[in-house]
Structure 1
Amino acid sequence: MVAKKRILTKFMRFWKLLGPGLITGASDDDPSGIATYSQAGAAFGLSTLWTALIAFPLMASIQQMCARIGLVTSQGLTGTLKKNYPRPVLYLMLLFSFPAIIMNIGADIAGMGAVGNLLFPAIEATFFSVVFTIILLVLIVYLPYQKIASTLKYLCVVLLVYLIVPFLYEQDLTEILKATFIPTIQFNKEYIGILVGILGTTISPYLFFWQASMEVEEMKHKKKHLMVNKKIINEMKEDVDFGMSFSGLVMFFIILTTGTVLFKSGIHQIETVEQAAMALKPLAGNSAYLLFAIGVIGTGLLAIPVLSGSLSYIITETFGWEQGLDKKFHEAKAFYIVIAISLILGLSLNYIGISPIKALLYTAILYGLTAPVLIAIILHISNNKNVMGEYTNGRTANILGITAFLIMTTAALTLIYLQVTDN
């Protein structure tokens, strides 16, 4: 009894420690991520499983850098750039971030609308997209994000069903281990496109801004913004590592599930949400659509405030306006107006004729193409003693950061090359 109580106490202490890193990790598996991983498994079976193993340390290291920047400077990435770097660097970051984030918001809204239509076919998907946009705007404006996230993160538990489905099949363990630990690369634009998409949706630029800004908010909330020390840095690392490991685990099993169920059933190209939902049919039967819909809607409701909030932090820090998701509307009007505009712009992309699944995949690829520039900027900030003082990157952080930059740059340039030579 005493042992159980001790274990429970330790767990509750650890759960309390988790904050921005856990929310960031959960929102990383947004509808765009689900669609990208599902397409990877359907199109190429288990041959992209190795990316989960590679992506985890890379995304964890970049997110830790962003979190450390927020803790040390008490500013988001944009505020740090504005204060310490020439304006062209700030504008370059805006140029590479704004279009991708808006497209991600639009793709996630479209994905949520599509699963709404999946559950209620008589009602148009665009109706659900509009309804979800209004619900999100009301929740973001009237509720502190911490309250929203603490409720919605439990909806993301439904993603854990992907961890069960593969075990309902007789699996070749040797094949899984080989696909996990021995990278397989096909030099064609379809495979490289998926590879860029996977990297883009795991190492997503919007999460860089979110992580830094949330660490600042967290410190202000705890009234520790003048007390940064190694203990706080270590707690941040635990938080980020847990969040990123959760994200990576879900990613691995979505690819494994779709590679087992869809690829081996002859479904190699996912065009609709119905096809993506079929991956859960061995577990849930006719309820597969419901499970899939809950997962997409839950992650969308969690991720879209992160996306729109990230963009609003970028713009309001650029112009020195009041900001913060925990502030009331009258305290940070410009901040919430930017969020509203980003949601409306994202919603408007629903009417350009791209299928939700393709929009979600294109978003991931766009992130993969733009992320290297932002990673280079983050690496420079993290090694700048004038900004970071004694908390600059260590050797391991630099090796992982540079590796992320090189891998994403190589993948992006290879995709561009294959696209040009193929036309």
Structure 2
Amino acid sequence: MLFRLLGPGLVTGAADDDPSGIATYSQAGAQFGYGLLWTVFLTLPFMIAIQLVSAQIGRVTGKGLAANVMEVTPRWLVLALVFLLVAANTFNIAADIAAMAEALSLVIGGLNHEHALIFAATSTLLQAFVPYHRYAPVLKLLTLTLFAYVATAFTVEIPWSKALLASVWPKAHVSAGYLLMVVAVFGTTISPYLFFWQASQEVEEMKRKARRPLRELSRGGDPELDRIKVDTTVGMIFSNAIAFFIILTTASVLNANGVTSIDSATQAAEALRPLAGEFTFALFALGIIGTGLLAIPVLAGSAAYGVSEVFGWQSSLQDKATDAVEFYSIIAAATVIGFALGFTGIDAIRMLVWSAVLNGIVAVPIMAMMMVIVSNARLMGRFKARRWLVALGWLGTAVMAVAVVALLWSSMTRS
């Protein structure tokens, strides 16, 4: 019953744990053991708040995030931010496709490029030719693949008392590497493509059910906001729970056996193989493929929503490809370019670094604009956000700003 009630919030939360995120969490566990489990709990309230804001903006106004941001800021600035979003998403798609292809090669053999082509083509064709009302349930079912990481944790020996104590009472580490990993976890957990996707998915759901934007209603609407709260809260808790289990597993197996350097999700899976056995390895590797199949459409779709809204193009996954050519062209271009980057010889880790930096540049101003929108009575009507949500959202924006400054500083000092 609960699973049936969940939708955009659950899919958004699950898409946050993409292969790139798995790589970050795996490195956190391998390098620092249980020392970063606390970050999962710290980021959760900020993640819930900002995604609640995103979802409410979409459902209340009946428009996507980019269209709403243009109400409070110049179009050229929105265009610049959306351009950076598209670039970041494309690099992220490239890294995710490469990780999925490598994971499949590890499990069944074969050539990485062939597997990458299959994943890229399948994702693009499903988005272009399967209507939203049929595609949305597929994305929701794909969220179940993330339970592979919960199962993985129970296939290895974990000192639960030690791990749980570290989660609530972490030991202080004052080092550049530790602080950089904290920043990386924040950047991976709170990403701008999630804002754009969830707002647009609320619009898609509204249109699918033939309902009006909430701000056009003279009364009622509270049940919809309650649904959004449940959906988003469950989705973000699910997302961070999966991150918790990934850090937990890699800390218990890799860090405990002296493996402290992991550069990709597939490297983490391969490192688990001799230490935890074939079953644990297979679960971890198949989880990479499952979450990648979910994340690529979200990354490409969020880019397409942003660009289409800025230029006023028709933008809906419910539309036929012939009726929304520009929208589906952006989806195809982001996926195809991401696939093609795999042939350039650019290191996947470097692409992830670029993606993280670009996401950071986009995230803070977008978050600030979202908080302005959700507090604006002209745009939100009687559904203007409550004070606790506004306060938590602004606090999350400030924390993210600090994290981004730290990330940019570390990137410049290392280059």
Using structure 2 for the length normalisation, give the TM-score. 0.91
- The one-letter code matched in structure 2 to 1:17 is L
Distance 1:116 1:167 in 2: 23
Please say which of residues 206-215 and 273-282 is displaced more in the overlay: 273-282
State the distance in 2 between where 1:118 and 1:166 align: 20
SS of match in other structure, 2:236: helix
Distance 2:257 2:357 in 1: 26
Instruction: Please tell me whether the aligned partners of residues 165 and 283 of structure 1 are also in contact (alpha carbons under 8 angstroms).
Output: no
User: Does the 8 A contact of 2:152 with 2:280 survive in 1?
Assistant: no
**Larger displacement relative to structure 2 (361-370 or 60-69):** 361-370
1:409 and 2:389 correspond: no
Matched, 1:98 2:86: yes
Change (3 A) 1:86 1:422: closer
Structure 2 matches for 1:342-421, cutoff 5 A?
Answer: 342-356=334-348, 359-360=351-352, 363-364=355-356, 366-420=358-412
Q: Could you say what secondary structure the match of 1:403 adopts? A: helix
Distance in 2, matches of 1:127 and 1:225, equals 45
Alpha-carbon distance in 1 for matches of 2:382, 2:142: 40
Cα–Cα, structure 1 residues 421 and 18, in superposed 2: closer, same or farther, change >3 Å?
Answer: closer
Residues 169, 303 of structure 1: CA spacing in aligned structure 2 closer, same or farther, 3 A cutoff? closer
| Structure 1 pair 186–380 and aligned structure 2 pair: CA distance change class (3 A) | farther
Match of 1:203 in 2: 190
Q: Is the 8 A contact 2:85 2:193 kept in 1?
A: yes
The superposition leaves residues 190-228 of structure 1 with CA deviations (integer Å, 9 ceiling, x where unpaired) of 323322221122111001001111101101111222456
The question of 1:193 aligning with 2:185 is answered: no
Deviation at 1:353, TM superposition (A): 2.5
Q: Deviations over 1:357-379 (max 9, x none)?
A: 56446534543454222211111
Secondary structure in 2 aligned to 1:80?
helix
CA offset digits 1:230-250 (Å, max 9, x no partner): 111111111111111110110
278-287 vs 226-235, which moves further: 278-287
Say if 1:118 and 1:273, in contact at 8 Å, map to a contact too: no
Residue matched to 1:277: 269
What does 1:190-339 align with in structure 2 at a 5 Å threshold?
A: 190-227=177-214, 229-271=221-263, 273-278=265-270, 281=273, 285-339=277-331
Q: Percent identity?
A: 41
Superposed displacement of residue 355, structure 1: 3.8
> What are structure 1's unaligned runs of at least 5 residues?
1-11
| Structure 1, 160-169 or 288-297: larger mean CA deviation | 160-169
Of 56, 69, 72, which aligns to 2:44?
56
Structure-2 change in CA distance of 1:27 and 1:49 (3 Å): same
Tell me which amino acid in the other structure corresponds to 2:8.
P
Conserved in 1, the CA contact under 8 Å of 2:133 and 2:208?
no
Q: Residues of 2 paired with 1:136 and 1:28: CA distance?
A: 17
Seen in structure 2, the aligned counterparts of structure 1 residues 192 and 99 have a Cα distance that, compared at 3 Å, is farther
Supply the distance in 2 between the matched residues of 1:140 and 1:74 (Cα, whole angstroms). 21
Q: Tell me how far 1:273 sits from its aligned partner.
A: 4.7
Q: Specify the alignment match of 2:104 in structure 1.
A: 116
CA deviations on 1:164-212 (whole Å, 9 max, x unpaired) are 4445555444432332123556444432332222112211100100111
What is the alpha-carbon distance in structure 2 between the residues aligned to residue 254 and residue 289 of structure 1? 13
Which residue is equivalent to 2:24?
Answer: 36
AA aligned to 1:210 is W
Q: Distance in 1 between matches of 2:11 and 2:145?
A: 15
Q: Is the 8 A contact 2:47 2:189 kept in 1?
A: yes
- Please, which moves more after superposition, 142-151 or 369-378? 142-151
Task: Using the TM superposition, name which of 385-394 and 260-269 deviates more.
Answer: 385-394
The alpha carbon displacement at 1:319 in A equals: 0.9
Question: Is residue 2:138 matched to residue 1:138?
Answer: no
Cα distance, 1:340–1:158 mapped onto 2, change above 3 Å: closer
Q: Which of 44, 49, 62 matches 1:74?
A: 62
Counterpart secondary structure, 1:329:
coil
2:135 corresponds to which of 148, 165, 188: 148
What SS is found at the alignment partner of 2:342? helix
The answer (yes or no) to whether the contact 1:197–1:361 under 8 Å persists in 2 is: no
- Work out the CA distance in 2 between the residues paired with 1:255 and 1:302: 21
8 Å CA contact 2:84, 2:358 repeated in 1? no
Question: Could you tell me whether the CA contact under 8 Å between 1:196 and 1:368 is conserved in 2?
Answer: no
Alpha carbons 2:374, 2:384 under 8 Å: kept: yes
* Distance in 2 between residues matched to 1:284 and 1:328, nearest whole Å: 47
SS where residue 45 of structure 1 aligns? Answer: helix
Q: Secondary structure at the match of 1:330?
A: coil
Q: Following the alignment from structure 1 to structure 2, what is the Cα–Cα distance between the partners of residues 110 and 409?
A: 30
CA RMSD of aligned residues (A): 2.5
- Equivalent residue number for residue 7 of structure 1: none
Rounded to whole Å, the distance in 2 between the matches of 1:251 and 1:375 is 23
Taking the aligned partners of 2:252 and 2:350, their CA distance within structure 1 comes to 22
Contact 1:316–1:323 (Cα < 8 Å) also in 2: yes
Match of 1:8 in 2: none
Secondary structure class of the residue paired with 1:345: helix
- The amino acid across from 1:223 in the alignment is A
- Name the amino acid aligned to 1:119: V
How far, CA to CA, are the matches of 1:402 and 1:339 in structure 2?
Answer: 31
8 Å contact from structure 2 (residues 301, 331) kept in 1: yes
Report which stretch shifted further, 368-377 or 323-332.
Answer: 368-377
* TM-score normalised by the chain length of structure 1: 0.89
**Structure 1 residues 279 and 218 mapped into 2: Cα distance closer, same or farther (>3 Å)?**
farther
- Is the contact between residue 262 and residue 278 of structure 1 (CA under 8 Å) also seen in structure 2? no
For the residues of structure 2 that align with 1:32 and 1:383, how far apart are their CA atoms? 33
- Counterparts of 2:408 and 2:266, CA distance in 1: 31
Q: 1:399 to 1:265 in 2, by over 3 A?
A: same
